[in-house]
Structures are given as C-alpha cells and as structure tokens.
Amino acid sequence: MLHPPHQSLQVAAVPSQRAPAREQAGPWHSEAVCRRDEAGLFFAPSKEPTAARLAREEAAKRVCARCPVMVECREHALLQPEPYGVWGGLTAAERRVVLARRRRREMELKASSPGGRIAAAG
C-alpha cells in the first residue's frame, strides 16, 4: 500500500528546461520509463479518495524522476494540453499552474518589448 507523501510538492515550481539533444531516431515516448509500469499509476480511477490520489501521484512522480525523457513528456503535456494524469512529473493541476505562469510571462514580455506597448491616447 502506498503511503501519502511527507514532502511538499515542489515540482511545479521547477522552471521549464530545454531537453538535451537526443541521438535516437525513435519517438520520445518509446524511451519513457512509464511504458514499463502500470498505467493506473499515472491516471486516477473514478472516485479516488484524496489521500490515495496524493500517494498514487507521488509514486508516479518517482517513476518520472528516473525517466530519461521526462522533459519531452512534460512539454508534450503542456503543449497538448493533456487534461488528466501525471505527465513529465506534473499533475494536471500543476501543469495548469505552469501554463498560467508561462502565459503571464509571455504577456509581460510582450508588454515590455518596444513594439508591445500601446501608446496613450491624447
């Protein structure tokens, strides 16, 4: 039986990283560690109790942490966007936070660029 995690989840605060160049010709998901694990670990069953969900998600994140294509998986889930499950070490809620931060950062960059400012009328 999985036990609830004792550490706070800090994964969502990790900034986006560029994936190292891969030399393999196959798709990134062919190298994913989760292909060898139970799929149920990464997706919630219906009516899952909160403590069980947190423990399952933490176990899934441990699998992700040792995956050689974690960054590619995370970016896939952010670009799709994948609405369910643990992808690239992030839950759906954590991915929503990352996406909101990216959107806010993009808006700030556009606003601060010379062509991004709107001239005041008058």
Binding residues for [4Fe-4S] cluster: 34, 64, 67, 73
Greatest Cα-to-Cα distance within the chain, rounded to the nearest angstrom? 68
Burial of 56 (0-12, 13-18, 19+ CB in 10 A): buried
Q: List, as residue ranges, the binding site.
A: 34, 64, 67, 73
Q: DSSP for 58-119?
A: HHHHHHHHT-TTHHHHHHHHHHTT--SS-BTTB-HHHHHHHHHHHHHHHHHHHHHSTTTPPP
| Pairwise CA distance, residues 107 & 112, whole Å | 9
